[in-house]
Amino acid sequence: MEKYILITGASSGLGKAAAKKLAQEGYKIFAGVRRQEDKEQLESLNPNISAIFLDVTDDESVEKAFETVLQKTNEIFALINNAGIALGGPVEYLPVEMLQKQFDVNVFGAIRVAQRFLPLMNGKDNRILNISSMASYGVFPFVSPYCASKRALDMFFNSLLVECKNPNLKIISVKPGVVSTPIWNKSVDACEKTFENVSQDCRNKYEKELLFLAQNARNNTQKGLKAEDIANLISKILSSKNPKLSYNAGKDSVFARFLSYLPQRVCNFLVKNGLKYRLKK
C-alpha cells in the first residue's frame, strides 16, 4: 500500500533532504514549496516527489494544497511540519511585528496545516513529526523569538496528542542541534534588515553581542549536523512501530536538554557567563 507524506518547507535544507530520502525509500511525497523553480528542481530528484505550492501562513494556500492532495489520495500517512524561520534580537527592542512573523510561520503555520490535514489521518497508523529545535529548551540569549516559538510548537502539539480522539495518531518532536542549512544566512539577513533602523541606544547596548551572534549564525551554515543526518533520523522514526515522543539530534541538543534540567537561576548564570567568555575571545 502506498504511503503518502506531506512535508512543509521542502524547498531547501532539512525539508528537501527529507523529501529526497523518503522518496528513495518508496514513500509518495507532497513537498511544500512557494516558488516554481523549487517545484521543478524537487520533482526532478525523484518521480515519487510531487511538489505543491504551500504557504503555511496563508489559509487560501493551505486550502489549495489540501485540494491538490485530495486529487491523489484521501489518506496521509505522515505530516512533517518543517517550515520555519529563525529570528532574534534583544527582547528590550524586539519589534512586535517580528515576534508575530516568527510565530505565524513556526507555530500558527504548523497548527493551520495540521488542522486542515487531520481529516486525512484517520488510519491505523498516522504520524505528525514536528521539526522543533534544541532552542525549545529556552537557554539561548538573543534568539528568544525562535526559542519561544519552538517551545510553543511542542506544547501545542503535545496538547493535541493528549486531546485527540484518534488513538492511532502519533506526534513526535525532533529537536536538532545546529544543522548546516540555509536557514542561518536567511535568518541573519532578515534580522539585520529589521534592525538596520534601530535606535542608537540599542546599538550602544547590544552591538557587540549582535555582531557576534550574527557571525556565529553564519558560521553555522558550515558546521554541525548535515541535513541528511536529520533526514535519516526522520526515516527511522517513520519506520518505528513505537517511536518516542521526542528525539534529540546532536551533542549540542543533548547538552541543551541537560541545561534545562538545572534550576533556572543556575542555568541563567551559566549561559550568561558563557556568552561573556565567548565575547572576550
Catalytic positions: 132, 146, 150
Give SS3 for 49: strand
Q: Dihedrals φ, ψ of 162, to 5°?
A: -70, -40
CA 226, CA 62: separation in Å to the nearest integer?
Answer: 29
Q: Which residue has the cell 551554515?
A: 221
Angle at 252 between CA 262 and CA 150, to 5 degrees: 75
CA nearest neighbour of 24 among 35, 16, 32? 16
Q: Provide the 8-state DSSP code for 278.
A: H
Do residues 138 and 148 make contact, with C-beta atoms less than 8 angstroms apart? yes
